[in-house]
Amino acid sequence: MSHHLTCLSCGSVNRVPAERLSAHPKCGTCGAKLAEPRVHDIDTATLRKAETKDTLPLLVDFWAPWCGPCRMMAPEFEKAARALAPNARFAKVNTQIHGDASQRYGIRGIPLLILFRGGQEVARLTGARPAAEIEAFVRSHMAAA
């Protein structure tokens, strides 16, 4: 079995054998790591591609720099990313810079976490959450898939 992963740096779609996920696979176009344990800041064009092409779960934090709860949750989101890599990937979309995200994804408040998998939105979680809750949220939907 193999996974399709959109490079969160350049937007290229890569095919990665499942057994190679923990071997730090790199993008064939730009060389960026594809399944690393960190959060990527992405734009909505990259998100649109990743949400439709990726086979691994992708959890996206929609946030803004002026949002206190968003800033408080950022370290917790990073902890959850480290805990779940390489079986899930994490990204952030700054809704202040990428205003089209609010309308496209029906965002009514931030922080908002949306989990994508296999070309569709799987679930949403609103409000600032500790790492353990974020991990449990993703794991519960990974098990259901």
* Catalytic choice (7, 10, 30, 70): 70
In order of their start, the domains of the chain are: 37-144 (3.40.30.10)
The band of 119, judged by pLDDT with boundaries at 50, 70 and 90, is confident
pLDDT in tens, 47-76: 999 999 999 999 999 999 999 999 999 999
To the query of whether residue 7 is one of the catalytic residues in this protein, the response is no
Per-residue pLDDT tens digits for 127-140: 999 999 999 999 99
Q: Give CA angle at 44 (41, 48), nearest 5°.
A: 115
Residue 115 corresponds to which amino acid? L
Which residues are CB-neighbours of 53 under 8 A, at least 6 positions away? 4, 6, 13, 119
Catalytic residue among 10, 27, 30, 67: 67
Q: Is 27 a catalytic residue?
A: no
pTM of the full structure = 0.94
